[in-house]
Amino acid sequence: MSKIPQPTTTQLDKPEPKFHYWRTLLWSQWCFTPPLPTQSWIGKTVIVTGANIGLGKEAARHFASLGAEKVIIAARNLSAAEKAKKDIEQSIGCKTSVIECWSLDLCSYDSVRQFAERCQALERIDCLLENAGVSKYFFYEVEGATDELQITVNVINTFLLALLLFPKLRETAERFKTTPHLTVVTSELHHQTIIPERKAVKEGKHTNLLDALNDKKVASRGGRYPVSKLMQLLCVRELVATLKAKGDTSGVVVNCVNPGFCHSSLTRDFAPIAYIGKILMRARSTEVGSRTLVHAASAGMESQGEYLSNCQVARVADWVKTEEGREWQGRVWEEVLGRLEGISPGVSGNIHVS
């Protein structure tokens, strides 16, 4: 396996060299294989969303094989989740008590709240790995939700679940003297957008970004997924900045991770273009891609608020580090937090230091 030189903080802060993103992307896909995870998870409890298939399922398999006491497959399709559970059990020989299948529909606010409430009965949560996501070409509305499908699933309900379970992660850190993780699975595609819908806000067509994202006339099609992934990254960064500003010393690691271009069902709406791209880019298997997820869920405090790729802290898109990018980071988080307060009043208090 070829090894990537670890970049320094100074290198990461410098503007991205011309064509650096594309060179790194091609090198990662063609020349680098993430190492198998080896860190022990004995006695720990892990939640993996969207773990009935693909990357989430393979990550769950790794956690179970590394000794986790409880691995919760959180999925909308419980039938598929049960099949995944049996497959994992047969492949690694773990006890039937290790893997549990819990219902979680990230299209539904109620489902997220009910799932989080159920989690309160758990003795501990050592990792919330938020892997579930959707990628669609067309604009889809969600019954009972304020925002379009990809924003609802990839951003709003992802962070609703994160904030609802943050006190439990803190409790685990304090009670068991360990380092729980909140890890959001994002994408290198965040490099390919600067949120075009923000133009509608600048021009006064909408008062805020979420409204612009819900306007079919303004919303980009194929670009919606990268936008949602950039929003995830901005929210992770601002959440950590908020925690630091409030003097949080809970020891909970919050980071986000790019698994690379993988063979998964996520791109099914973009076939056959996605299929051709997977061949040309030498897409990783879901098992290989899942190694990066487990790495991020095991990373130390050096990964706090960081974007990880190829099992190391990686460079975020240059726009994120500009003055405008920093401004929008705060605005995006403020809007998302406002939406979350509307869904679950008082939830923002879960990140306050008591």
- The span from the CA of 131 to the CA of 158, in Å, is 9
What tokens were used for 195?
Answer: 């949120």
- One-letter amino acid of 337: L
Catalytic annotation, pick one of 57, 70, 85, 229: 229
Catalytic annotation, pick one of 57, 225, 278, 307: 225
What tokens were used for 42?
Answer: 């004995």
- The span from the CA of 215 to the CA of 352, in Å, is 33
- The span from the CA of 248 to the CA of 351, in Å, is 8
Phi, psi angle pair for 312, to nearest 5°: -160, 165
- The span from the CA of 105 to the CA of 3, in Å, is 38
| Whether 185 contacts 129, CB under 8 Å | yes
Residue 278 is among the residues annotated as catalytic for this protein: no
Residue 321 is among the residues annotated as catalytic for this protein: no
| Whether 330 contacts 245, CB under 8 Å | no
- Between the alpha carbon of residue 93 and those of residues 66, 80, 83, 89, 191, the distances in Å are 12, 19, 15, 5, 40
- The span from the CA of 211 to the CA of 335, in Å, is 10
Give the residues across from 284 on adjacent strands: 262
Strands in 253-258's sheet, in edge-to-edge order, are 99-103, 70-75, 45-49, 127-130, 181-185, 253-258, 307-309, 312-313
| Whether 45 contacts 125, CB under 8 Å | yes
Catalytic residues: 225, 229
